[in-house]
Amino acid sequence: MSLASKVKTNLQYQNLWTNVTIHQVSDLEIVSGIPPNKLSSVDEENQVEWIIPKMFSQDKLSVSEIQNWFSKILELSGDIPRRITIAIINDDSTIVYYFIHNGITKPNQN
């Protein structure tokens, strides 16, 4: 099972996302979907989220790799998202999600 398939299954059945789709762009698999609730207070309802699956044991991330992700999503959607989510998959199939913002983001007040 590919990393993107593991993330898709996790989002659909554990996190209850809808419209979860795997996109193949060159050698990169990108997952998109709609969460059941807003992920941040500044999000719009039913906002499409973009997720990049990455194995925990893979090499470190580089800025150029992250910029490439935003460019590939621009090719798919016609718009650069203000953030993407990276899905870090561990050897035991645990998945942890982190936001990666496109540029500097003002912190939210809790």
The CATH label, of 3.40.50.1000, 1.20.210.10, 3.40.50.300, 3.40.1350.10, for the domain at 3-101 is 3.40.1350.10
pTM, two decimals, is 0.89
**Residues pairing with 85 in the sheet:** 51, 99
Residue located via tokens 């989510």? 85
**Domain boundaries defined on the chain:** 3-101
DSSP for 19-63? EEEEEEETTEEEEEEE-SS-SSTTSPTT--EEEEEEETTSPPP-H
pLDDT in tens, 65-108: 999 999 999 999 999 999 999 999 998 889 999 999 988 877 77
Q: Which residue type is seen at 71?
A: S
Helix (H, G, I), strand (E, B) or coil at 66: helix
